[in-house]
Amino acid sequence: MSLLTGAGAKGHFNAGWMMTNMNRRQAVGALGAFAVAGLVPGSSEQAPWSAQIGRSAGRLRHSVSRWCYGKIAIDDLCEAAKGIGYRGIDLLSEPDWLVPRKHGLDCAMANGFGSIPVGFNRPDNHDKLVADAERMIPLATAAQIPNIVCFSGNRAGMSDGEGVTNCVTGLKRLMPLAEQHGVTLCLELLNSKVDHKDYQCDHTAWGAQVVQGVNSPRLKLLFDIYHMQIMEGDIIRTIRTNFQHIGHFHTGGVPGRAEIDDSQELNYRSVMQAIADLGYKGFVAQEFVPRRDPLTSLRQAFEICDV
pLDDT single digits (tens) 91-128? 999 999 999 999 999 999 999 999 999 999 999 999 99
How far, rounded to the nearest angstrom, does the alpha carbon of residue 61 sit from its chain's CA centroid?
Answer: 10
CA dihedral 205, 207, 208, 214 (to 10 degrees): 150
Upstream peptide bond of 176 is cis (omega within 30 degrees of 0): no
> Shortest CA distance to 239 belongs to which of 290, 289, 216, 273?
273
Which of 8-22, 45-59, 107-121, 180-194 is the least confident region?
8-22
Average pLDDT, integer, range 167-194 = 98
List, in order, residues 6 or more apart from 29 with CB less than 8 Å away: 79
| 90 or 4, which is more confident | 90
pLDDT > 60? residue 195: yes
With the C-alpha atoms ordered 102, 107, 113, 115, is the resulting torsion angle positive or negative?
Answer: negative
User: Quick one: pLDDT at residue 247?
Assistant: 98
150 against 14, higher pLDDT: 150
The residue with greater pLDDT, 7 or 280, is 280
Interval 275-297 mean pLDDT:
98
Q: Report CA-CA distances (Å) from 104 to 75, 80, 89, 134.
A: 11, 12, 11, 28
Whether the pLDDT of residue 230 is over 90: the answer is yes
pLDDT tens per residue, range 41-97 = 333 333 332 334 445 568 999 999 999 999 999 999 999 999 999 999 999 999 999
Report the chain's mean pLDDT, rounded to a whole number.
Answer: 86
Checking if the pLDDT of 3 tops 60, the result is no
129 pLDDT more than 70: yes
Over residues 209-235, the mean pLDDT reads: 98
Region 222-227: what's the mean pLDDT? Answer: 98
Domains of the chain: 49-305 (3.20.20.150)
Structure confidence at residue 58 (pLDDT):
84
Q: What is the pLDDT of residue 245?
A: 98
